[in-house]
Amino acid sequence: MNRLFRSDLSDKLPAIISVPQRKRMMCLNESCLDPYQAIKDQFLHRMEDIRLNRYLSPITQDLNDKLAQYAGCGISPKQVIWGNGADDVLYHIFLSVRENAESFAVSLAPSYFDYKTFCDAVGLGIKFQDLEEDFSFDTAKYIEKAKDPNCKLAILCNPNNPTGNLYSKEQLRTIVDALPEKLVLIDETYYEFSDTSFLGELDQHPNLILTRSFSKAFSGAGLRFGYALSSEENIYELSKVFQTFHTSILNQAFALTILENVPLFCAQVLKTIDMRTEMYEKLKAIPGMRVHPSHTNFLTFTIGERSHELFEYLKDNEIALRDVGAHPRLKSCLRATLSCEEDNDALYKAILAFLKL
């Protein structure tokens, strides 16, 4: 144990992502659309008026206003906070709710694996409720876990990653209503692919906070820009754990330029949804294949005991998927990002070749 650091860090590991590096990167739910190439002329024109030798820039308020406008439903700029990706926002939310060493969050499982990563980083515990075989969950049991006095945060990913399913608003509303003294986080990273959001109910639920990302629908995985929406009071409290200049002016300028080109990215989302529907039907028709319905930009599927063999075969053929089989509910499952027709066709043909169909 290194006594120069927090004692609880001794049994934790650094946050390292391990995925294959291949020609077709279908493992990280990224987009094939390069946003820089799509909007670079507008971005570079904007940069002519931006001074990177200064901490402060008018771009900050412009972005805040435009982000609130994009969110809609009467959201004010004071109900918005952003960071270096939705991950950064999640990290700071976890940091803001940690009271002491007994504090913990509750999450469903399997769900976004970095909830635990960020909880570990800030010294917040985390407890899980396993999903059922059909990816549903017992609302009453979840509420019971979250009502523990030491629970400081209830997390719900909707649509859920890596299962791809969408929970009903009625079920999630029951949870939010049952936990008025708890902060309830609904992670809406993939909401543009599902067209389902709790945004219109923020005013009715002062304990609710939503997180979103520019990495998926806006093709900005490398940009690192995400944001949260909540009441003005909640955003004000959350802002107290953020650094003063926590997101670069470059990021802000590019994010603002994206928001000035929303139709371009909406068209890509619609194209992705069409590809998802087509790929789901094609995979479902393969003998021995089980593919789960999805409301995201990916599909999760399995061919049983041969899934690992398929995973390695695809790597050998320059296709990288994500092995998500660590949790029993997704045993032998692989996850494939559906981003462009060329990659999808290559994946489908490779699966058929592997199965000799």
Helix, strand, or coil (residue 22) = coil
List helix spans (H) across the chain: 35-47, 59-71, 86-97, 114-122, 139-146, 169-178, 232-239, 249-259, 262-284, 307-316, 341-355
SS3 content of the chain, % helix, strand, coil (to 5): 45, 15, 40
In CATH terms, the fold of domain 49-261 is Aspartate Aminotransferase; domain 2 (3.40.640)
pLDDT number for residue 184: 98
CB 135 within 8 A of CB 188: no
pLDDT number for residue 10: 87
Residue identified by tokens 């909707």 is 158
pLDDT number for residue 172: 97
CB 294 within 8 A of CB 280: yes
pLDDT number for residue 7: 86
CATH architecture assigned to 7-33+263-355: Alpha-Beta Complex (3.90)
Give the count of beta carbons closer than 10 Å to the beta carbon of residue 295: 20
Per-residue pLDDT of the chain (357 residues; tens, 9 = 90+): 678 898 888 888 888 888 888 999 999 999 999 999 999 999 999 999 999 999 999 999 999 999 999 999 999 999 999 999 999 999 999 999 999 999 999 999 999 999 999 999 999 999 999 999 999 999 999 999 999 999 999 999 999 999 999 999 999 999 999 999 999 999 999 999 998 999 999 999 999 999 999 999 999 999 999 999 999 999 999 999 999 999 999 999 999 999 999 999 999 999 999 999 999 999 999 999 999 999 999 999 999 999 999 999 999 999 999 999 999 999 999 999 998 999 999 999 999 999 998
Q: Which two tokens stand for residue 103?
A: 């504090």
Domain residue extents for the chain? 7-33+263-355, 49-261
Give the count of beta carbons closer than 10 Å to the beta carbon of residue 266: 13
pLDDT number for residue 3: 81
pLDDT number for residue 11: 85
Q: Which two tokens stand for residue 340?
A: 């462009």
Q: Which two tokens stand for residue 62?
A: 């412009």
